[in-house]
Structure 1
Amino acid sequence: MRTSRITLSAIGIAAAAGLVLSGCANGDTDGAAPAPGGDTGNGGQETFEVYALLPQGTDQPYGTTYRPPMQAAADELGINLTITNSQYDADRQASECEVAVAAQPDLIILWPAVGDTIRPCLTAAQAAGIPVTVTNSDVNPEDKDLIQAYSGPDTYGQGVSSAEMMCDFAAGEEIGILVVNGLTGNSTAINRNAGFVDTIEANCPNVTILAEQPGNWNKDDSQIAVSEMLTAVGPENVGGIYAADDTMVAGAIDALKARGIDPADLIITSIGNTFLGNPLVVSGELDGTVFQSSSWDGENAVRLAHAVLTGAPFEAELFMPSVKVTAENASDPSVAPEW
């Protein structure tokens, strides 16, 4: 197992959860004034109707640990949530958005299934006077003027962090690497790839990207993709792999093993620090990953929405802390995997 050259300090995730109500800037709410809620009879707390248009739920590990904190925050703050799950089907999410807009809720929380397909949903909500906040995967830059705010991971920054670890571990050594991207068209996939590639090109020209393929956030697809890339470029030329999440990096590692290649001989980085990825860091098969908290994500989607609805201060971009995880801190409770 390679020795890490990175000195890391874990950032407290729980401490950051309260940032949404104490942000330094107010979001732009022009043209989307919140609708007044009604009295629940519970201490006079306002209630709000909110649609949460999600692309996953308890059918996937992230959604399974994202939704309970989301619901708990909604119960605390007097928000009645209607939650959908498009299963990353852009057409299905578009239909769910039509239903949501017709229902005239006080606000829509949107987790885009496919980033470049959601503009019609946003324009329809704006025309109906319904504010939209975005969670987990931000909208494309050209759509930012149609939303109130975003909460979730800094997806570009996550790619940067994974690349920084790659550069650090390479330490000037000339290596060629394979890149496994997420689902084509997904904003998280686009941003993570951009952050990774920009950082590699700027900081470590000794690292050359030999080939890229999408792994579709899927372990089996990623194993096939890496196997194909190994054949195309020659396994003897590959000194490292970057995968845009831990599920895909696990598939990449399986592809190496199927070729009789010891993953510990390569430099491999990822994003997530999940129940799948964290043990790979501990074992030395994965050199580094970036912690992402699903519970922070779900809770703060609602807290941000509530701040927009009530006119409380909020940040237009509320990013969860990103912590680099290597063998040095993989067992630290502050970065314990959640999904």
Structure 2
Amino acid sequence: MRNTRITTSVVGLMAAAGLVLSGCATGDAETPDAGGSGEETFEVYALLPQGTDQPYGTTYLPPFEETAEELGLNLTITNSQYDADAQASECEVAVAAAPDLIILWPAVGDTVRPCLAAASAAGIPVTVTNSDVNPEDKDLTEAYSGPDTYGQGVSSAEIMCDLADGEEIGILVVNGLTGNSTAINRNAGFVDTVEANCPNVTILAEQPGNWNKDDSQIAVSEMLTAVGPENVDGIYAADDTMVAGAIDALKARDIDPEPLYITSIGNTFLGNPLVVSGELDGTVFQSSSWDGENAARLAHAVLTGADYEENLFMPSVKVTAENADDPSVAPEW
């Protein structure tokens, strides 16, 4: 039976934004100082895997570009559409152009080392945005800004553990794209936390949903068949797009999602209404505007020698029915 006692960590993003503007970030990292009016200009290549072709990129890019212009960063932006080979080619062009800095959002985390090595050999610093490189590649980068992807998995697991409240339950897990560092870190954060904090929660099966709603619906349908729908008490999906597909898979089997324990990450325009309706018990807010703005600010700090943290994490805010309508966590994408 569903337990309605959910501990919600409310860290208002409006308050966090105020801290950013005052030069201090929420959490362990400090937002880099803008370091002046941006009179000095720098050439910067931004190797991204998405742009206005996806909702996140559509709201990431305007604050990224506006802040870059404010700080004197002349941006050349690419979009590999999550094609590792395409991003590798874009990196070759970027290194040949010899910019002052490269901002990298890895398309596929375990394929970017050659790009990083080439930039390092050419003396071009690299900062990473949104999805960090693998630990073994960190020495080839200057710093990272974006979501604490491991911490997001932790937060979603904490919601799940609180929902279960000691009850023995079996759940399905829908991961992101195989090999993607965000998917790897979110899964690790979720699994580690469940094992440590609520061993009463058993993961019955897991499959990648590839950050895609349709793929996730198929994956959950297959897992329901494999383990038996009567044995499934909940679902964790690594983002709201995939959890929407998971919920559709339940409905296609005439399974009411509301009695189940379901958590996710994003608090997007797709996920937030599911929280309000009660079909999704909890998610973790991710701000695309924070992400874009701080990618530019961190790059500028590295270029100007201003103080910066090697890992600048955005706040991970738990969103449940208790705070789903709070303006500080209003969906952005």
TM range (shorter): over 0.9
- Which of 122, 145, 149 is the aligned partner of 1:151? 145
- Which of 106, 123, 134 is the aligned partner of 1:129? 123
What is the deviation of 1:18? 3.7
**3-state SS of the aligned residue for 1:265?**
coil
Within 5 Å, which residues of 2 pair with 1:69-80? 69-80=63-74
Runs of 4+ in 1 over 3 A off after TM superposition: 18-27
What is the deviation of 1:105? 0.3
- Which of 12, 16, 27 is the aligned partner of 1:13? 16
Looking at structure 2, the residues matched to 327 and 307 of structure 1 have their Cα atoms a distance apart, in angstroms, of 38
Unaligned runs of 5+ in 2: none
Looking at structure 1, the residues matched to 142 and 21 of structure 2 have their Cα atoms a distance apart, in angstroms, of 19
- Which of 200, 224, 231 is the aligned partner of 1:230? 224
Within 5 Å, which residues of 2 pair with 1:17-28? 17-18=20-21
Equivalent residue number for residue 191 of structure 2? 197
What code does the residue aligned with 2:240 have? Answer: D
Alpha-carbon RMSD: 1.8
Identity %: 83
What code does the residue aligned with 2:250 have? Answer: L
Looking at structure 2, the residues matched to 183 and 331 of structure 1 have their Cα atoms a distance apart, in angstroms, of 30
What is the deviation of 1:16? 4.0
- Going from structure 1 to structure 2, the CA distance change for 1:24 and 1:66 (only over 3 Å counts) comes to closer
Equivalent residue number for residue 65 of structure 1? 59
**3-state SS of the aligned residue for 1:303?**
helix
Q: Deviations over 1:141-162 (max 9, x none)?
A: 0001000000000000000000
Contact 1:4–1:327 (8 Å) recurs in 2: no
- Going from structure 1 to structure 2, the CA distance change for 1:24 and 1:263 (only over 3 Å counts) comes to closer
- Going from structure 1 to structure 2, the CA distance change for 1:253 and 1:114 (only over 3 Å counts) comes to same
TM-score with structure 2 setting the length? 0.94
Contact 2:24–2:31 (8 Å) recurs in 1: no
What code does the residue aligned with 1:212 have? Answer: E
Looking at structure 1, the residues matched to 29 and 318 of structure 2 have their Cα atoms a distance apart, in angstroms, of 26
TM-score with structure 1 setting the length? 0.92
Q: Deviations over 1:171-196 (max 9, x none)?
A: 01100000000000000000000000
**3-state SS of the aligned residue for 2:315?**
coil
- Going from structure 1 to structure 2, the CA distance change for 1:21 and 1:145 (only over 3 Å counts) comes to farther
**3-state SS of the aligned residue for 1:263?**
coil
What is the deviation of 1:14? 1.2
What is the deviation of 1:265? 1.1
What is the deviation of 1:17? 2.8
Contact 1:151–1:319 (8 Å) recurs in 2: yes
Looking at structure 2, the residues matched to 16 and 278 of structure 1 have their Cα atoms a distance apart, in angstroms, of 25
